[in-house]
Chains A and B, each alone.
Chain A
Amino acid sequence: MKYKSQKVAYMFFALSMVLLLLQIVYGFIMAFAHAGYDGLHEIIAFNTATATHKNLLVVWLLSGFMGAAYYIIPEEAQRELVSVKLALIQFWSLAIVGVVAVAGFHVGWWEGRKFLEIPRALDYLVVVNVLLFLGIILVTLFKGKEKTTTAMVLAMGLFFAALLYLPGMIWFDNQSMDSFFRWWVVHLWVEGVWELIMGGILAFLLIKLTGVDRELIEKWLYVIVGLTFLSGILGTGHHYYYIGAPKYWLMIGGIFSALEPLAFLGMALFAFAMYRKGEKNHPNKIALYWTLGTAIMSFAGAGLLGIAHTIPQVNMWTHGTLITAMHGHLAFWGAYAMIVFSIISYSMPLMTGRKLYDKPGAHYAFWLSNIGMIGMTTAFAAAGVAQVYLERKVGLDFMVSQNALHVHFWVLIGAATLFTIGILYYVVNFFKHGMPTDEALIDNK
């Protein structure tokens, strides 16, 4: 750690860890409900659980991105954050809004719009919170000594992520129109600007961990950014199938989303090329594992499993089934959860001065969580294919076909248990680092 204010990142990472654990609890509630044991139905109905599960994911990832920005931006800009006090205010307000939103879901305070359930009043608070965050980050960056490509890509990603929250706040009386713009938020985040954030963090980590020239890494970062936008923006079309949007979206969505895996493939090839080129033998191997793991798993989850059901002729059958859950789980894990884990694994030893990366727990965490998640994805895939067949081909009623799928959810619960053990290892390892300390500062000169 080079700057005192980088310590703020710890708070955001810690919040991420806590919310992630909570997210997993809700995942289990739903998995058991799917397997026929919905004992909590009166208190936490399935729709509450699914909204909570997904919103917690978004909030913990955002918290992780914010932590990453607070860690990376000072180091890249070569100056302290403009205000640690404001950053802490931003942290606590984020945490409070998050908790209120989740609690609200349990008493019916929400908008019933998939993924964007947070009620309108809290939306405005989110906007204020994010503006404060952006203010701190951008002012720090522009007052800094350097404006590196890595920092600019990261900042641009965060800025556009904030901007793209707004289409989700426009009011429509028409369901199709509402869905149309709702996807601007959801899709253009995860398949657009979040990839910039991911690319920025990835570039930062590769520079630090492999020792390859910044110039080279940043040049290819441009390529990835270009590929992302070329494919991702019009790729939004793959959400416009069968929701009342005009027919030409079938073609636009099909073609452009077929190109999306190329952006992820590019990112994976890039990461490995840099790793092989690197001569630096960084001691923090586990951070490198997570970084390269991100590149592979995002290509597998977001790229390959995405294209598996993105062609309209396939999507016609799989739309809104467990096939989507298959893709969603590995994509979010591979692309975004793992990049947050990467930056945490890299920065925690530097912030606290405790080098826990050689501990066996750190390795168990990596392998168990990844194997567990692949298992979960496979269980979702099997369940999804069976669901498509029973419900859409044979024509069984929704609940009748769901009852036939119980066995797959026991497989899911088994794999999820493995995954959770891995995550617990990670979280325990995280908190064992203790609080960040000024003693971990290294000399800037």
Chain B
Amino acid sequence: MEQAKSFLYPPGGILIWIIVLMEVLTFGIALIVFRVNFHQDYDTFLNSQNMLSKNIGLFNTVVLITSGYFMATVIVKIKQSRIKGAIKWMFFTIGTGLLFLFVKGWEYSIKIAEGHSFGYDDFFDFYWMLTSFHFIHVLVGVVILSVLLFKLRKGDYGASNFLDIETGGVFWHMCDLIWILLFPVLYLLH
């Protein structure tokens, strides 16, 4: 147990935390570069930023944070050995994840229909690259959680064996975290 509390043994294992660190660093650098560019070409960026739908962005933010709450509930349930509850909340987590992807896909289709696709201007280059990288992460997250759900239903996990679920949970929260960085910086801040 002492080992479990040590710095080198965080929830989900240290390897996933190294990934989280790298991801946050990568997106962080990209967002800083984005801000620098924003200020160098303020009018173009502001003009293009205003073309984004803040409501869709806000809705998706709420969806993803809610999904994060569901994921945390899965962990609570599994620690209490309530496997059925864990399965139920895992369904909700994946469902809200899919909802995010659906809404984001819809937003993409609007942008493409408006002609604001990749290559339109520097702002949209950043928008497409940052959000599509994030989109891929959520997609990967949904796949990971689906595999976990499958194994959960098979009865592979319990109150004494839930490291994989925690690891998946950390990954899922990372997707929230990155979106919470992306949304204000891309959609709101000017």
Chain A residues in contact with chain B, CB under 8 A? 222-223, 226-227, 230-231, 246-248, 251-252, 254-256, 258-259, 262
Contact = CB atoms under 8 A, between A and B. Distances in A.
Given A230-B22, A254-B33, A248 B125 contact: yes
A251 B25 contact: no
B15 A252 contact: no
Given A222-B15, A248-B125, A252-B129, 20 more contacts: A223-B15, A226-B15, A227-B18, A227-B22, A230-B19, A246-B119, A247-B125, A248-B119, A248-B129, A251-B30, A251-B125, A251-B126, A251-B129, A254-B33, A255-B30, A255-B33, A258-B29, A259-B26, A259-B29, A262-B22
Contact of A255 (B18, B19, B26, B118): B26
Contact of B29 (A222, A230, A255): A255
B14 to A, nearest CB: 8
Contacts, number: 36
Given A251-B30, A252-B129, A254-B33, A259 B15 contact: no
Interface string B4-28: 0000000000010011001001100
Contacts of B19: 226, 230
Interface in B7-57: 15, 18-19, 22, 25-26, 29-30, 33
23 contacts: A222-B15, A223-B18, A226-B15, A227-B18, A230-B19, A230-B22, A230-B26, A231-B22, A246-B119, A247-B125, A248-B118, A248-B119, A248-B125, A248-B129, A251-B33, A251-B125, A251-B129, A252-B129, A254-B33, A255-B29, A259-B25, A259-B29, A262-B22
Contacts of A248: 118-119, 125, 129
Interface residues of B, number: 14
User: Interface centre among B118, B125, B126, by most A CB within 10 Å?
Assistant: B125
B101 to A, nearest CB: 22
Nearest to B125: A248
Contacts of B30: 251, 255
Nearest to A247: B125
A262 B29 CA distance: 14
Contacts of B22: 227, 230-231, 259, 262
Contacts of A259: 22, 25-26, 29
Nearest to B22: A230
Contacts of B25: 259
Contacts of B15: 222-223, 226
Nearest to B118: A248
